[in-house]
Structure 1
C-alpha cells in the first residue's frame, strides 16, 4: 500500500464501523500504518485483518476514549508499537436525539462524555507526538481531524444536546488550530450531513422511525464519502491546511 502517507501512522477512534472504518481503509490505501481504537474489539480485529490482507499495518486498541486513562493508553501504545503518530482522526461519537422535555439526562452525559470529553482526551494525549512528527520526515506536517456534523453549524429541534456537542467540536477545533498552526500541526473539522451509518440505531425506536422518514427521499452519504474528505485533508502539501469541510447529500436541504 504505497501512497502519500507512506511512512506515517494514523490513529482513528470509533474505527469499528461507519465513518471510522471507512477512514481506516482509505488512509491505509494512502500508505499509513493504522492504530484502530474502539470498544468493539471483534470488529476491530476483522478490520485489521482486512488491512493486513491488503498489505497494510494495523494495531487493534480496545479503548473507551471517554476515560482519560484509556485514551492516553491508546495513544501511548500507538507510539510505542508503531513508532510515531502523524494523524489523529477523532471520529468516535454518539447521537441520541429527542425533545429536551422528554430526554433522559443520562443520555446527555453520554454524548458529552464521548463527543467532547473523549475528543479532548485523545487530542491532549496525542498533541506532543503530533508536534514531534511535524518536525520529522517524511512529511514534516501532522494532522488532527475532528469529525463534527452539520449539526455543529445549524441547530435542529429534537437535537439540542447533540448540536451543543458538535458546536463544541467546531469551537475546540478552531481554538486548537490557532495554538498549533505555527508548529505545522493542522487541525481540521469535517462536518457531514446525513450519513447512512449505524449511528442512528442507538436511538429509541420512535426516533429511528422519524429519522428514516425524514431522509427516506434522498440519497444519503456513505462512510466512504466522508473518509474521502478526510483523506483529501491529510494528503495536502505541507503549506496547505483545510480547516473546515462541510459535506452533505446533494438533496439535503
Structure 2
C-alpha cells in the first residue's frame, strides 16, 4: 500500500512533462489522480497507463486553466468521482518569450491568464472544502525564473515571481488551519517546453520534481514544507 493510498489529487498541465511525471508519481503511491490539460488525447493515454499500473486510479478531464468555469467544473467532477480533494498541484504554465520590447501583448496575456489567474482559480476551486475539513495541500510549481530575470524572460519571470508571492502569502493566511502550501521552483527540466532553451548544465529530469512533490505531501500533518528550489548541479 502506497504512502498516499486513498488520497485524491488534481494535477494541472498533466498531459506531458512535469505534470505527467507528478501524476505518475502520485498514482504510484496510491493516490487517485485527476489529470487535466487542454490535450484530452494525451491525458487519456496517461489515464490508461496509470490504470495499467494498478495502484492509484486516474480520471482525464479536458480544461482550460485560464477559464474559471472550467476550473470549477474540474473540481466538482473530481469530488463527484473520487471524493474530497486532498492535494491540488498547480503545474500548468505557459513559457513564452514575452519580452516587453517585443510588444507581443497576446503572449503576455496568455502567460498572465494561465500562470497567475489559473493558479488562483485552482486554489479557489478546492480551498473552501479544505478549510472546512481542516486538511489539504496546495502545491504551486513556480520556477527559478521567479528568483532571477533574464533579458528574454521579463514577463514569464514576472508571472513566476507572482506564483511565489501567492504561495508565501497563502501560507500565512492558512497558518493553523490544517491546510498546507508548498512552492516548488525547478531549474531547467528536460521537457518539450524546454527543448529549445540552452543551458550549460545537465537538465533536471521530470522525476526529480515529481519526487519533491511526493516528499512534501507525505510529511507529517504538522510539517509544512513551504519552499523547495531544485537546480541541476
Work out whether the TM-score is over 0.5. Answer: yes
Residue 169 (1) aligns with residue 152 (2): no
Shift of 1:177: 1.1
Q: Any gaps of 5 or more consecutive residues in structure 1?
A: 135-140, 202-207
Alpha-carbon deviation of 1:89?
0.3
> What does the per-residue CA deviation read over 1:196-253, in whole Å, with 9 as the maximum and x for residues that have no partner?
111136xxxxxx3xx23xx1x4210011111111111011111111100000111xxx
Matches of 1:131 and 1:104, distance apart in 2: 40
The equivalent residue for 1:96 is 96
Contact 1:173 1:187 in 2 (8 A): yes
- The Cα offsets for residues 76-131 of structure 1, whole Å up to 9 and x where unpaired, read as 11011111100000000010125421241110000000000111111101102222
Count of equivalent residues? 232
Distance in 2 (alpha carbons) for counterparts of 1:22 and 1:37: 13
Deviation at 1:23, TM superposition (A): 0.3
Deviation at 1:178, TM superposition (A): 1.1
1:226 to 209, 218, 222: 209
User: 1:116 maps to which residue?
Assistant: 116
Q: Residues 172-183 of structure 1 correspond to what in structure 2 (within 5 A)? A: 172-183=166-177
1:155 maps to 2:149: yes
Q: State the secondary structure of the residue aligned to 2:73.
A: helix
Q: CA RMSD in A?
A: 1.2
Moved over 4 A (4+): none
**Are the aligned partners of 2:188 and 2:194 in contact in 1 as well (CA < 8 Å)?**
no
Task: Tell me, yes or no, if the aligned pair for 1:86 and 1:129 is still in contact at 8 Å.
Answer: no
> Which residue number corresponds to residue 137 of structure 1?
none
Partner of 2:126: 126
Return the offset for 1:44: 0.5
Per-residue CA deviations over 1:126-178 (Å, capped at 9, x if unaligned) read 102222444xxxxxx42100000001112222100000000000001111111
SS at match of 2:9: strand
**TM-score, normalising length from structure 2?**
0.96
Offset from partner CA, 1:169-189 (integer Å, 9 cap, x none): 000111111111211111110
